Amino acid sequence: MVGSRSWPFVGRADVLARTVDELDAGHHVVLNGPAGLVKTRLAAEVAARFAGRRVTVHRMVASPASAPVP
């Protein structure tokens, strides 16, 4: 959840800026990596940046249980 009740998003300003810049340039972005890299929170922060800009945001989540699904 992003908003006044969430913790401040600190220490990842560079990644957030690069991600927003790539999306602003019309590129697609995939956030991947091992657990604990703040991917979910980064995605929420990026989506919040695009709120109100008439941009469609799709969120896809994978898990080991979904690995067999093509």
Residue range 39-50, pLDDT digits in tens: 889 999 999 898
Q: How far apart are the first and last CA of the chain?
A: 29
What is the spatial distance between Cα 23 and Cα 20, in angstroms, rounded to a whole number? 5
pLDDT of 1 > 70? The answer is: no
pLDDT at 32: 86
pLDDT digits (tens, 9 = 90+) for 9-55: 888 899 999 999 999 999 989 888 888 888 889 999 999 898 878 88
